[in-house]
Amino acid sequence: MVLRAELRYRRDRIDRPDYLNSLEEVDTLIDELLASPANENLAQIIHLDRETIRLNIPGGRGTEIPDHEFQVGVDKELQVGVLLFIDRSGNFVTAGPANSRNAPEYYLAGHWSQFPDQVEISIDLVREAVKEFLASGGKRPACVSWKNQYPDD
């Protein structure tokens, strides 16, 4: 199976993405995130087989952006992680157990992100969900439970 996904998580390479080309590379990514400094424990993955959205910029120029975003974060101390999936259907985060942390923080290339309460899941589920996302062509993984990131909207 050939996969095409763009990957950003390193501060020194935020403008030059890495790529995921196989399901086997997911384990390497998760292991690298677990070994990374705390300010680089969240990655953004864009599946390149999905559609793009054309934005028209004043002056007649247009630009293409992905129609989705998928983020994966891990906490090496607690051995848990979080997933975020955004597309036209909404913004979704993993639904973790009721005893998981409130407002966990993760960092994408040094940029802080705070997540809603009870969103962290096991590292094994994180690995499985990232592999499903890639194998499905960029669909929201069904192997984990999801909840609306902004339930009051």
pLDDT along the chain (153 residues), means of 10: 82 84 94 93 94 75 84 96 96 95 93 94 98 95 94 71
Model pLDDT, residue 59: 62
Domain that holds residue 128: 5-148
> With 0-12 CB in 10 A as exposed, 13-18 as middle and 19+ as buried, what is 135?
middle
CA atoms within 13 A on the CB side of 90: 10
Residue 113 backbone class (left: φ over 0; alpha: ψ -120 to 50; beta: rest): beta
Is residue 144 a part of any domain in this protein? yes
pTM summary value: 0.90
* Measured distance CA(56)–CA(24) in Å, rounded: 38
Residue 148 CB neighbours (<10 A): 13
14 found inside a domain: yes
| Count of domains observed in the chain | 1
In a domain, 153, yes or no: no
pLDDT of res. 55? 78
Provide the pLDDT for residue 27: 96
Q: What is the pLDDT of residue 2?
A: 58
Judge whether 42 lies within some domain: yes
